[in-house]
Amino acid sequence: MAENMVREPLSGIDILIAGGGLAGLTAAIECHRKGHNVRVVERRPGLDPFGDLIAIQTSALCTMRKWPGFVSQLYENQFGPDIHMYKFDGTLIGVFPSLGDYDPSTGDRAVALSRVELHQALHNYATSLGISVEHGIYVEDYSETPDKGCAILADGTKLEADLVIAADGVGGKGWGIVSGKKDQPISSGYAIYRTTFPLEYALKDPLLAKVYESDSSHGAAYIGSNTHIVTGKNKNIDDGNATEDWSKTQSSDSALEHVKNWSPFVPALINAVPNKEVVDWKLMWRNPQPKWISPMGRIAQIGDAAHSLLPTSGSGATMAMEDSFTLAACLHISGRHGIPLAVQVYNKLRFERVSCAQKMGFKTRENWHNTDWDAVSKNPQLVGKIIGNWLAKHDSEKYAYDNYAACAKHIIDGTPFY
């Protein structure tokens, strides 16, 4: 599998990635493939044993297909190729590709799977390539010189590299050096009740058992006034021992208040939650910021550290992966002596696309929470197709190679670039 990866000649670029989540590990693998030397540091003591459904759109699969064996592994562990969309009362709206797109020309379709499994797969793939991934290392701040980026640890230790990639999430520390201010993310005004639990609890209810016993990977979404629920089932064993230590827990009874008069399936599923315990996860947000790089070009943000997306965008993980593919390609083109220009090109190539994806998160939420049911009855795609072709049919790696020179010229002398 990973040992069959074709790697570009060594670039001589040393990269330190602060953050071993989905963005950081994707960047590590792709930067390694491009010939860069990579080290990852992560503040958590180990891999997160929690998380729920996450979607990877087809645009992220273009480059991942160059990682031998990886995409097939994702499909093996997916929740299912389709999602059943329902009106809150249980009326079926339609069956759609799993929270994303299907490309019949390539056979690629969006993949919905457990965040835990995706994180584990990325970690295993990275370490099998020989990439150093170190846990329990907390980056407190960043600094730079004209030649080096620096991650400053909580104990004062400084880790230097030709480029430091800040992949440390929505609450990351990179904004201080990038924007000159350490503003905190704000609430989007919405929250999610999240949980994952063994199937046996759901099978105790005859209504739920009727659905889950007959469908090995049932995915469904119910949408109603100011509320929606997305649920899925996969084939992997959960012993029920994982703990949700990342956020505040609350009684699942709180969720029942939002689904009164809904299809009986929905409250039945909520009532099946073990110990009535769910995670109350606040959706944090930063308004789009056009600058993701430090003044000297030695620190670059990717993923949620640069741009948070609402889950209703269906593209949070995908945008982080596209960031990684773009940045790795730009560095491959520039070489070690052109890093400051390379990160400017990366930032320019990504900002507008990501900002539009961010806006789609709000648009989809509006469509789902304030639905025109007469319009949906005539055109179910209004709620079923949340990923447009402009998002799905894009190859960020190819786009970087095709547009690097023109974008660099724009940055250097102001030549128009669109």
Are 154 and 18 spatial neighbours (Cβ–Cβ below 8 Å)? no
**CA dihedral for 349, 352, 358, 360, sign (positive or negative):** negative
User: CB neighbours (10 Å) of residue 333?
Assistant: 16
Q: Which residue has the tokens 């996969």?
A: 234
CA separation for the pair 338, 332 (Å, rounded): 10
Catalytic residue among 33, 109, 194, 350: 194
DSSP state of 301: E
Q: Is 350 a catalytic residue?
A: no
Instruction: Please tell me whether residue 265 adopts helix, strand or coil conformation.
Output: helix
**In DSSP terms, which residues pair with 97 in a beta bridge?**
82
Q: How far is CA 71 from the centre of its chain?
A: 16
CB burial of residue 340 (10 Å; 0-12, 13-18, 19+): middle
How many residues does this entry show for the chain? 418
Residue 341 φ/ψ, nearest 5 degrees: -70, -40
Q: Which helix (H) or strand (E) holds 411?
A: helix 396-413
Q: Are 309 and 315 in contact (CB under 8 A)?
A: yes
SS3 label, residue 41: strand
- Contact criterion met (CB below 8 Å) for 390 and 319: no
Which residues are designated catalytic?
194
